Chain A
Amino acid sequence: MAQIELIGVSKTYRNHVAVRALGDVNLSITRGEFAAAVGPSGSGKTTLLNLIGAIDMPDNGVIRIAGLEVTSTAPGRLAEFRLRHLGFVFQSFNLFPVLSVLENLEFVPALRGTPKRERVERAEGLLADVGMIELRNKRPDELSGGQQQRVAVLRAILSEPDVVLADEPTANLDSENAALLLDMMERLNRERAITFLFSTHDPAVMNRARRLVRLKDGRIIADETRES
């Protein structure tokens, strides 16, 4: 059964001029996939992730994520849905600067009402698992860009969401840090069966993705599945 399903989805941005970001997109992604939406700038990758992430709504079409039809869900319930089912990794890290690494990881479980002790144990366990435990008390501005982005990925997966959406996660990283990040995401995808969907035009990410959804001018022009 599809974990992410888009049927006839269109989105046009209307500012001074109307810009069609996505047009009649149909897409189905199953649990545990490690997929990337790729294409040049303006192809609709970020719009696709925003719509799947339920932080934006399409003009037409239906989107179902983890069994919920988000396009017909009241806006007030979408925050709760994102909290329970989705994880986000943004292009420019976006850790909370006033919180330590450990506290940043605690943030989503805290929103979910997980008791302090349990969320600290889980966060420390995950940090230890990826060899970053010594960074637990550091603030984001004391970390390198690569470290920050890895913490952002850990934050996204700590509460074991169904889907992690990562918008150009390697865009601000050098190749070494990008490789480390991708290693970690691949491992988490394998070990925890969390679905990953990236938007990227980084060849390193494309090489790791087991499925490439190619976009151009807001339309899917190719959908390639590769053997891992």
Chain B
Amino acid sequence: MLFWQMAWRNVWRYRRRSLLTVLTIALGLSFDILMRAIGDGYHEQMVDNSVRAGIGHMEIHRSGYQRDPALLKTLPDLPLLERLVPQTPHLRGYSFRVLGDGLASTAENSSGVRIIGIDPGAERSVTTINRAVIAGKFLDDRMSRPALIGERLSQSLGARLNDKIVLMVQAADGSMGAQLFRVAGIFRSGSPDLDRGVVYLLRKDAQSLFSLGDGVSEAALLLDSSQSVAQARQFLGSRLASARVEVLPWYVVEPFLQQFIELDDAFFYIIVLILFIVISVGILNTVMMSVFERVREFGVMMALGTRPRQVVRLVMQESAVLALVGAVVGAVLGSASTILFAYTGIDLSSYAAGASVLGITTTVMRPTLTIRNLISSDLSVVLVVLLVALYPAFKAAALRPVEAIRHV
């Protein structure tokens, strides 16, 4: 206890220097907390956008579909799936879809498209595509052969609302299918791929177009959060083990997204590393100065019988005081700034075009503060300070009392 008292008082003996050091630690830490929160916030937003754009948190396909998608690979044992999927834990919505490729044509132009056959009611529970409609209406079962197309596709085909488009496909039976549809709605999702290359049809129309009968290509599931994926996957995986299907989480369906997040995290860690190196130099300087200004004092301590390890302990305790005070102040500053930005949002409208490439379709980003990140940042900074302090601590312990006492 006496050593802790000494450590505390020794730190505040050089008040200005210690305050500057604490401020360095605190600012570095608060930057770390805010950057992690921003990173988490926009990663979460990217995942959410991708998930809500269509893939859901999980997809179920016939085995092998993900590696080699083919029209004939429809879901086996559909009744089992239709019974089991609604029981999935943390489920918020699900949609059985037909997927295929074809050519969309008007009198003016034609374009290769992805054709997605949906049940409008079910699709609303999984994606937000219904909210992206900018002209006309979202699909409705009562409509006759409606098509929902992206804004860019509409422009490239020269197809306006209520115009007719022809969809030409190679059907499951090998024949060429061609049917006429009417543009019931035009959407703008913010995703160039969707807006340029997707046509939504009613599921029954798509099944007819592709001659699939009652077959569907996939089930997309939306959960309450991406944290629930493991539990939901385990539930379905164990019950569908023999059903010749693959239950895939979003990060397998969209590996690019996961890889981007990992790459982004790697860049972030490099920045944090540089930040911690800068903090370390500051700490090293402070602790070294503190040790060299007290060489005589350490000499007296050792002459009185203080063991070298106790000298190490004292210097480490002093560094721990700096680190802990800095960590508390930094956590408060970092949390406060994160909460502030989460409340006000960070306006990205100037970078909207670039952001949409990354899957961010909203123009206001909100950082996400998590206790896990807060603790991890705090522990990191305390650990870095203590590691850096080891050198001056051992230097102090290696002093020879007879020389240290003579030190001026």
Contact = CB atoms under 8 A, between A and B. Distances in A.
B304 interface: yes
A90 B405 contact: yes
Interface residues of B, number: 24
A55 B305 contact: no
Interface string B299-320: 0111111111010000000000
A98 B10 contact: yes
A88 interface: yes
Contacts of A79: 302, 305-308
Interface stretch (A26-34, A99-107, A173-181, A202-210): A99-107
A82 B300 CA distance: 12
A-side interface mostly: helix
A55 B405 CA distance: 10
Interface string B277-307: 0000000000000000000110011111111
A82 B303 contact: yes
Interface string A105-145: 01110111000100000000000000000000000000000
Contact of A90 (B6, B10, B300): B300
A53 interface: yes
Given A99-B6, A110-B2, A55 B310 contact: no
Contacts of B301: 96
A98 B13 contact: yes
A55 B2 contact: no
B6 A98 contact: yes
B5 interface: yes
Most chain A CB inside 10 Å of its own CB: which residue of B3, B296, B306: B306
A83 interface: yes
A98 B9 contact: yes
A108 B6 contact: no
Contact of B5 (A50, A56, A80, A99): A99
Interface string B372-408: 0000000000000000000000000000111001000
Contacts of A76: 308
Contacts of A84: 305
Contact of A111 (B5, B296, B310, B402): B310
Contacts of B2: 99, 103, 106-107, 110
Nearest to A109: B2
A90 B372 CA distance: 52
A83 B402 contact: no
A214 B21 CA distance: 52
Given A55-B402, A90-B405, A96-B297, A103 B304 contact: no
Contacts of A99: 2, 5-6, 9
B405 A111 contact: no
A107 B1 CA distance: 11
Most chain A CB inside 10 Å of its own CB: which residue of B9, B302, B405: B405
A12 B229 CA distance: 76
A86 B304 CA distance: 8
A97 B13 CA distance: 9
A94 interface: yes
A102 to B, nearest CB: 11
Interface string A71-86: 0000010011011101
A74 to B, nearest CB: 13
Interface string A31-65: 00000000000000000001001011000000000
B73 to A, nearest CB: 74
Contacts of A103: 2, 5
B305 A94 contact: no
Contact of A88 (B3, B9, B303): B303
A83 B308 CA distance: 13
B306 A94 contact: no
A88 B402 contact: no
Contacts of A96: 6, 297, 300-301
Nearest to B305: A83
A97 B301 CA distance: 12
A108 B2 CA distance: 11
Interface in B71-130: none
Given A96-B6, A103-B5, A108 B13 contact: no
A184 B402 CA distance: 27
Contacts of B402: 50, 55-56
B294 to A, nearest CB: 9
Nearest to A51: B402
Contacts of B302: 55, 79
A83 B9 contact: no
B303 A116 contact: no
A24 B142 CA distance: 116
Most chain B CB inside 10 Å of its own CB: which residue of A79, A80, A111: A79
B7 to A, nearest CB: 9
A203 B150 CA distance: 105
Please provide the 4 A-B residue pairs with the shortest distance between their CB atoms, ordered closest to farther. A83-B305, A98-B9, A56-B402, A55-B401
13 contacts: A55-B302, A55-B405, A79-B307, A82-B305, A88-B304, A90-B300, A94-B296, A97-B13, A97-B297, A107-B304, A111-B305, A111-B310, A116-B1
Given A83-B305, A96-B301, 7 more contacts: A55-B302, A56-B400, A79-B306, A90-B300, A90-B303, A111-B305, A155-B304
